[in-house]
Amino acid sequence: MGLHRVPVSSLPSSWQGIKDRLPQSGDSTYIFFVVDDDASTGKPWCPDVREALPVVEKYFEKRGDLEVAVVSVGSRSVWKDPGNIWRTSWGLRAVPTLVKYTGTGAEGDGVVQSQLVEEETKDEDKLRAFTQQDTSAP
């Protein structure tokens, strides 16, 4: 249980294809969208991701009963491109973003139940409330 990094190049293009390959937590699928590491530092290029990643990782590891897939939206130049697939097809507006998907919609897309964006992903109380309804949070 905990966090699982999912290489972008290995993800299928359809929601169902992705859903079938990602960790499931009950009826929910959690995806934590982050950025690539900067080649010169070995750390995420986005300061918000650098701060949020250890908080989210620690929370899900401590929790133990839920899994989250970690997906990178790309390098700085890839993410900043308005045509980035994560912006256009997935509706992401900022990183880091932790999304809880429940089921599949009529169009075959994942149904977003809720999400935490940027600063919210660094707050353990918000993480606890965000995951509360799936099982009993510690």
Domains of the chain, first to last: 2-131 (3.40.30.10)
Q: Active site residue: 46, 92, 95, 127, which one?
A: 46
The reply to whether omega before 47 is within 30° of 0 (cis) is no
Q: Tens of pLDDT along the chain (138 residues)?
A: 566 666 555 555 555 666 666 655 567 778 899 999 999 999 999 999 999 999 999 998 888 888 788 888 889 999 999 988 888 878 889 999 999 987 666 665 667 778 999 999 999 999 999 988 765 444
CA–CA distance, 52 with 8 (Å, rounded to integer): 20
Kindly state the helix (H) or strand (E) to which residue 45 belongs, with its residue range.
none
CA–CA distance, 20 with 53 (Å, rounded to integer): 24
**Structure pTM?**
0.82
Please indicate whether residue 119 is annotated as part of the active site. Answer: no
